Amino acid sequence: MDERRKLTRNHLIHYLRVFNRDTGELLGNMVDISPEGFLLLSDHPIPINTALKFRMEFPEEFMGKKRLDFEAHSVWFKADVNPDLFATGFKIESLDQTDRKILESLISEYQDS
């Protein structure tokens, strides 16, 4: 697989659960992230070029918010080393300036240094 990402992804010390914003279904756990995209581990494959509306809920208010809503589309997927899981790479579609700052703060707060 060609490496086309421009920004380094930051591995998270705590996985962040993400949900389908429309249905409330748990989609999986975000395990690494950059301001442009993220890696999601899930128990089902997500086909390439699938656009999804995500909701990330925070355990307590973070920078004045209880959740972060955003849209992203899948750019690749493969079976994880754990045969029960699938790894999917997502590209974040767009974030306003406030949400981008929240995302960057999350990266700083939860990255595995």
Q: What is the pLDDT of residues 17-53, one digit of tens each?
A: 899 999 999 999 988 888 899 999 999 999 999 999 9
CATH number, residue 104: 2.40.10.220
* Token digits of residue 29: 């756990």
Please give the model's pTM, rounded to 2 decimal places: 0.81
Q: How far apart are CA 6 and CA 85, in angstroms?
A: 26
Higher pLDDT, 5 or 35: 35
Q: 74 in a domain, yes or no?
A: yes
Domain limits for position 39: 15-110
Confidence class for position 8, pLDDT limits 50, 70, 90: low
% of residues, the chain, pLDDT over 90? 48
Q: Is residue 75 part of a domain?
A: yes
Check: CB of residue 112 under 8 Å from CB of residue 11: yes
Number of domains into which the chain is organized: 1
